[in-house]
Chains A and B, each alone.
Chain A
Amino acid sequence: MNLHEYQARALLKEAGIPVPDGDVASTPDEVERIARAIGTGVVVKAQVHTGGRGKAGGVKLAADPGEARAVAEQILGMTIKSLTVEKVLVAPAVDIASESYVGIIVDRESQRPVLMVSPEGGVDIEEVAATTPEKIFKSTIDPRFGLLAHQATAAAFRLYPDIKQVRQAAVILQQLYAAFIDAGASLAEINPLITDDTGNVVALDAKIAVDDNELDRKPDIADLRDVSAEAASEVAAREAGLSFIQLEGNVACCVNGAGLAMATMDLVKFYGGDPANFLDIGGSSNPDKVVTALEIISADSNVKSILFNIFGGITRCDDVANGIVTATKQLAFDLPIVIRLTGTNEELAVEILEGAGFSALTDMDEAVQKAVQLAQEAA
């Protein structure tokens, strides 16, 4: 789960990191009010879960409250990479003397958290990694001891020549690590970490991605989820315990297991079709889950055919068959359905489906080819 910038900077502030004042707003009125309270020039920043906000015109400076209102009117409601801007952050405009990057991620390779810092801040860190990797300094953290003071200090020396700034930055790095752990994050970064015109080190932008597996034990973080920033279909799927991602094609895929779901999408493409979604109905499917899955995929007007690919293990094929029969009665849609079932209770499933007028296949390639063909005929 990604947090918005305004949520991430609040967590950093709680951890003790210096962050400029500011507040979040969803109307131009609120923006004007916040800008007036700040009293100086402000920056108005779109709060959407994507990078490249500045390039898209989603970040603008304003000299006074009236101008802040005017730029908010432009930014609120605009679309950045197909996401509508519902909220903006209003913060004081700061004079920047230098910009650095600091971040902590969980590194798969070392299987530990890793601190990364770079004096090249304010730009995409992936770009720095690609063009000037020598400008990124990494330090592996033993999670049982946390980010040690000497590690934080050594990293800070890579950023600043001034010992006062080094000491400030070292404290910030340890605070960032504490915030990273407290949030159950897979990534926490400050980009840019700046020095201002008085020489102080300040966090100007913040990004935190939380490991979804942490949300059960961190209700305060789970409450930060902003469903208005996600596609409605993806929210509905998550609430039903389904894993769903909307795509652009016209062959809807309903599969058990993430790997098989991806392989099914790949096979749709292999046979000249285009998948409409990724959908994993999970391990222990009950018929209700299948009903919700069909509701979600049949609501997509691009969909021309629906493909089920079920390999029964823990998932019982008869449960899926019952779900398909129930859903097609309830939903009254006329999309063609191709069903491939094999494994646990396969015979029972075929009986249930044939009783309701469906036919079931047992071969994955045959089923995918048929679903692609039906979608092409209907398109």
Chain B
Amino acid sequence: MSVFVDAGTKLVVQGITGRDGSFHARQMMEYGTHVVAGVTPGKGGQRFEDTVPVFNTVADAIQETGANTSVIYVPARFAADAMYEAADAGMELIVCVTEGVPVLEMTKVIPYLRERGTRLIGPNCPGAISPGRSKVGIIPGDICREGHIGVVSRSGTLTYEIIHQLSRRGFGQTSCIGIGGDPIIGTNFIDCLAAFEADSDTKAIVMIGEIGGTDEQNAAQYVTDHVTKPVVGFIAGQTAPPGRRMGHAGAIISGSSGTAAEKMAAFDKAGIAVMKRPADVVPLLEERI
């Protein structure tokens, strides 16, 4: 089993002929993801890599291929419309990799998608991978292994680092979800914790947060109330100075709310094993499983 993406994922790549879209479409195809269609307005009728049909609209792509998931690589100024289009076409799941979508735009995208029953992962996220089954986004497939750990993270390369530590020491993953570092995102920690709790194959959960906001504190409360599986957590930004933006728009600490110390304390209180450094992930899992 796995969460959000699996062998049944039939993927549309929005922006398949662009620089990033074409590179990652190939990577996903090599990994074994069912890439059933691409969308680039004006390039309908072409074939990507001689195999994948390209359509002018997402609606055409769904009608012709029965796609249920889309991944967005279009430039930031077109990303919101790409999300609206996919939702209007009836997409079940959208993964928006694109970075730089204005936050005010997201305040409108989120309710629009919710009203149409479409799940969004991201924006500004590395996507999701269920090792051996499907990869949607940009997480390098070769660092993942099939197994029983669920990974959820706000980060990109830090997630890879932790997946790498897990795989190297024999802890494969059911699914790894990068939810994105922006202040307003479609799928949060709680959504992923609920999915991993419900997934019978997942034996333990690794949650990687960072400074800024209160998502991790809310997630800790959720763990206390609803999660029976062992959870191991990490917070990046323990040494970040207050009030400074650290690359991710989400990672701003102002005042006392959102500091690493506060989040680690919330984890600890919820019985989540807190890593001091990425290399702690395996020893802590070994203690708990």
Contact = CB atoms under 8 A, between A and B. Distances in A.
Interface of A: 106, 108-109, 111-113, 126, 142-144, 181, 184, 186, 211-214, 216-217, 243, 245, 247, 255-263, 265-270, 275, 278, 280, 283, 311-315, 342-344, 364-365
A2 to B, nearest CB: 10
Contact of A247 (B101, B159, B241): B241
Contacts of A247: 241
Interface in B142-198: 143, 153-161, 164, 181, 183-184
B77 A343 contact: no
Interface stretch (B8-16, B59-67, B207-215): B207-215
B249 A212 contact: yes
Interface string B86-124: 000000000000011111101110110000000000000
Interface of B: 76-77, 99-104, 106-108, 110-111, 126, 138-140, 143, 153-161, 164, 181, 183-184, 208, 210-211, 213-215, 234, 236-241, 244-251, 254-255, 260, 276-279
Given A126-B254, A184-B102, A260-B155, 12 more contacts: A111-B106, A111-B110, A111-B184, A143-B104, A143-B108, A144-B111, A211-B249, A214-B102, A258-B181, A259-B154, A262-B158, A364-B279
Given A106-B183, A181-B104, A259-B156, A126 B255 contact: yes
A259 B102 contact: no
A111 B185 CA distance: 8
A237 B139 CA distance: 26
A106 B108 CA distance: 12
A81 to B, nearest CB: 10
B77 A113 contact: no
A262 B161 contact: no
Contacts of A261: 246-247
Contact of A278 (B138, B184, B240): B240
Given A245-B246, A266-B238, A313 B157 contact: yes
Given A259-B181, A365-B277, A213 B240 contact: no
Nearest to A142: B111
A26 to B, nearest CB: 26
A278 B236 CA distance: 12
Contact of A262 (B100, B240, B254): B240
A289 to B, nearest CB: 14
A342 B167 CA distance: 14
Nearest to B248: A258
The 4 closest A-B pairs by CB, nearest first: A259-B155, A258-B247, A257-B157, A259-B158
Contacts of B106: 111
B103 A311 contact: no
Given A111-B107, A262-B237, A275-B239, A314 B161 contact: no
Nearest to A315: B157
Contacts of A262: 158, 210-211, 236-240, 246-247, 251
Given A311-B160, A364-B161, A269 B140 contact: no
A365 B158 CA distance: 14
Contacts of B102: 184, 211, 213-214, 217
A213 B100 contact: yes
Contacts of A212: 249
B129 to A, nearest CB: 12
A315 B161 CA distance: 14
Contact of B240 (A108, A217, A265): A265
Contacts of A269: 238-239
Contacts of A142: 111
Contacts of B210: 258-259, 262
Nearest to B260: A266
A341 B202 CA distance: 30
Contact of A144 (B108, B213, B240, B276): B108
15 contacts: A111-B106, A111-B184, A126-B254, A214-B104, A258-B246, A259-B181, A260-B155, A262-B158, A262-B239, A262-B246, A266-B238, A278-B240, A313-B160, A314-B138, A343-B140
